[in-house]
Amino acid sequence: MNIAIVLAAGSGTRMGQQKQFIMVNEKPLFVYSLEAFDFHPLIHKILLVVPSNDVDRVSSFLKEYPLRKMVGVIAGGNSRQESTFLALKYLKEKNVKDDDIVLIHDAARPLVSQKIIEDNIYLTQKYGAVETACKAVDTLVISKNNQTVDHTLNRDEIYQSQTPQSFLFNLIYQAHNLRQGESFTDDAGLVKSMGNEVYIVEGDKYNFKITTPTDLDIFEAIINKR
Ligand code: CTP
Ligand code: MG
């Protein structure tokens, strides 16, 4: 079984509002990723995580929406890591199997492609833990106090991380369980800290994260061109 966890419980500090609920072409932003997973034939179930105050509102909204694979709308936590762990604990209670695959995705990446989804599934079947990432295209420099201190980073070895990040259920559940209280920015980092290898799935530029109002402008321009 392949289960998508869509994380939409953030507060949108950099956007200045809860970006997951912004309407773009008459659809809230979080629905774009739900539709991408719902459409993919290899995805069986979708679990959505939203702020605790929005669980009821979002659940009733989705009842009217033609999605086939939703299995729940649950409350997230104070950090992305907490929201993910709450989703994993919910799934554990629903008796998911240790070797089921979970794809953990930011609702703030509405343009995730069908290819990225299926590459995540196939490579998780093979390696157990994967993260979507794109090779850096710009030259990267390290700076301190507005001065550059290093230009020698090897661009071929540097990737920008995206989502989904996907894992065998037991692996990611145990990692979260053991690392509670320690802070990680993403699930791949957490799994890596346990000594597990994480394989890269090639992402793409469209799968960027909507973080600021500028990103929203870019997203709207892309949607309106399609
Ligand atoms: N997220 C979550 N629970 C949290 C924090 C974040 O489910 N407590 C989700 C967000 O809704 C988003 C994804 O994780 O889809 C990536 O997070 P980010 O882009 O940082 O979104 P926000 O945390 O909402 O934005 P900001 O950091 O600017 O406050
Ligand atoms: Mg955040």
Cβ(14) – ligand 1 distance below 6 Å: yes
| Confidence band, pLDDT 50/70/90 cuts, at residue 156 | confident
- β-strand partners of 105: 6
**The predicted structure's pLDDT at residue 32:** 98
Least confident of 54-58, 100-104, 146-150: 146-150
- Report yes or no: 30 and 21 within 8 Å, Cβ to Cβ: yes
Q: How many residues does the chain have?
A: 226
In this structure, what are the phi and psi dihedrals at residue 171, rounded to the nearest 5 degrees? Answer: -60, -50
**The predicted structure's pLDDT at residue 189:** 93
- CATH code where residue 216 lies: 3.90.550.10
Among protein residues, the one with the nearest Cα to ligand 1's atom 13 is 106
Segment 172-184 mean pLDDT = 95
- Closest ligand 1 atom, residue 108 Cα: 15
User: pTM to 2 decimals?
Assistant: 0.97
Cβ(83) – ligand 1 distance below 6 Å: yes
Among residues 159, 85, 169, which one has the least CA distance to residue 124? 169
**The predicted structure's pLDDT at residue 152:** 86
Please tell me which residue, 140 or 215, carries the higher pLDDT value: 215
Q: What is the pLDDT of residues 15-72, one digit of tens each?
A: 999 999 999 999 999 999 999 999 999 999 999 999 999 999 999 999 999 999 999 9
What is the 41 CA–ligand 2 centroid distance (Å)?
30
In this structure, what are the phi and psi dihedrals at residue 87, rounded to the nearest 5 degrees? Answer: -65, -40
CA angle, 195 then 198 then 200, to 5°: 160
Domain extent at residue 30: 2-225
Residue-wise DSSP of 37-76: HHH-TT--EEEEEE-GGGHHHHHHHHHTS--S-EEEEEE-
Cβ(12) – ligand 1 distance below 6 Å: yes
CA dihedral 124, 205, 185, 199 (to 10 degrees): 30
Rounded-to-integer distance, Cα 42 and Cα 1, Å: 8
Q: How many domains does the chain have?
A: 1
Which of 19, 37, 80 to mutate for ligand 1's pocket (most ligand atoms within 8 Å of CB)?
80
**The predicted structure's pLDDT at residue 27:** 96
State which amino acid sits at residue 92: K
**The predicted structure's pLDDT at residue 107:** 98
- Report yes or no: 6 and 46 within 8 Å, Cβ to Cβ: yes
Average pLDDT, the chain: 96
